[in-house]
Amino acid sequence: MNFELARFNMVEQQIRPWNVLDLTVLDKLSQLDRSLFVPAAFHDVAYSDTEIPLAHGESMLAPRVAARLAQDLLLKPSDNVLEIGTGSGYLSALLGSLSSKVISLESNHDLLAQAQVHLQQAGIPNVLLRHSSGVPAYIAHFDAIVLTGSVAQVPEELLKMLAPGGRLLAVVGEEPMMQATRLSLDHHGHRHSQVLWDVVLPRLHGFAPTPAFQF
């Protein structure tokens, strides 16, 4: 299979039509070998517009979704990024190529180990992988935070981890209505929320479901 041609077609036929137009993001996508991150049984569909199964019922995001998340984080080369949900490490690698440093959290030890191998094969040195489930107990502040699965609502503890000028991107809501939402903190400490696009993603492991309504 011609992976270079498949990667070109992925960018031009899947990703650009999904309003991913940032030239830097498109350039990084064109360079990053997605076939390094997929399970061996799925190499032939590494660049297909589909979610590829991983262990523990997890799956890789469709390429267009990963690309849109990376673009809409509005990353700068100096940014420190927190990713929650490493999966295969593909989005981690893309984020790493666009920023200064990425800390990526994964709840499954074997996925974490596999992602480490994938990142080394891809030559991405600035992604630090850690085992964690749910909201991390960090004090550090990040310029950008991204959740790779959906949540019923964004935990307050995560918002407190944003640095001034920081952005958090999460898919929020309940099936069948979920929306990619960017929450930002300006330099005066004011929060802003912007709904960007509709997409349905599986729930992110370790995050609370929507509280039941009580009288």
| Residue 80 resides in a domain | yes
- Give mean pLDDT, residues 157-180: 95
Over 70: is that where the pLDDT of 203 sits?
A: yes
| Residue 110 resides in a domain | yes
- Give mean pLDDT, residues 27-56: 95
What is the band of 212 on the pLDDT scale with cuts at 50, 70, 90? very low
Domain CATH number, residue 78: 3.40.50.150
| Residue 25 resides in a domain | yes
- Give mean pLDDT, residues 122-140: 88
SS3 185: strand
Q: Tell me if 146 sits within 8 A of 68, measured CB to CB.
A: no
Q: Rounded to the nearest 5°, which phi and psi values hold at 11?
A: -65, -45
What is the band of 205 on the pLDDT scale with cuts at 50, 70, 90? confident
- The rounded mean pLDDT for the chain is 93
What is the band of 137 on the pLDDT scale with cuts at 50, 70, 90? confident
Percent of the chain with pLDDT over 70: 96
What is the band of 42 on the pLDDT scale with cuts at 50, 70, 90? very high
Question: Nearest to residue 84, comparing CAs of 187, 166, 155, 178?
Answer: 155
| Residue 214 resides in a domain | no
Tokens of residue 203, six digits: 């729930």
For 67: left if phi > 0, alpha if psi spans -120 to 50, otherwise beta; the answer is alpha
The count of C-alpha atoms lying within 13 angstroms of the C-alpha of 47, restricted to the half-sphere facing its C-beta, is 21
Question: Nearest to residue 55, comparing CAs of 94, 120, 106, 1?
Answer: 106
Q: Rounded to the nearest 5°, which phi and psi values hold at 61?
A: -65, 145
Alpha-carbon separation of residue 139 from 23, 159, 171, 194 (angstroms): 34, 12, 24, 25
What is the band of 153 on the pLDDT scale with cuts at 50, 70, 90? very high
> Tell me: the pLDDT tens digits for 107-121?
999 999 999 999 999
| Residue 12 resides in a domain | yes
What integer pLDDT is reported at residue 214 of this predicted model?
37
CA distance 211 to 191: 23
| Residue 191 resides in a domain | yes
DSSP H helical ranges for the chain:
3-9, 23-31, 63-72, 90-98, 109-122, 156-159
Number of domains in the chain: 1
What integer pLDDT is reported at residue 215 of this predicted model?
31
- Give mean pLDDT, residues 37-44: 94
| Residue 207 resides in a domain | no
> Tell me: the pLDDT tens digits for 54-83?
998 899 999 999 999 999 999 999 999 999
Q: Tell me if 72 sits within 8 A of 180, measured CB to CB.
A: yes
Over 90: is that where the pLDDT of 189 sits?
A: no
Q: Which domain holds residue 27?
A: 3-198
| Residue 204 resides in a domain | no
What integer pLDDT is reported at residue 210 of this predicted model?
60
What integer pLDDT is reported at residue 118 of this predicted model?
98
What integer pLDDT is reported at residue 200 of this predicted model?
95
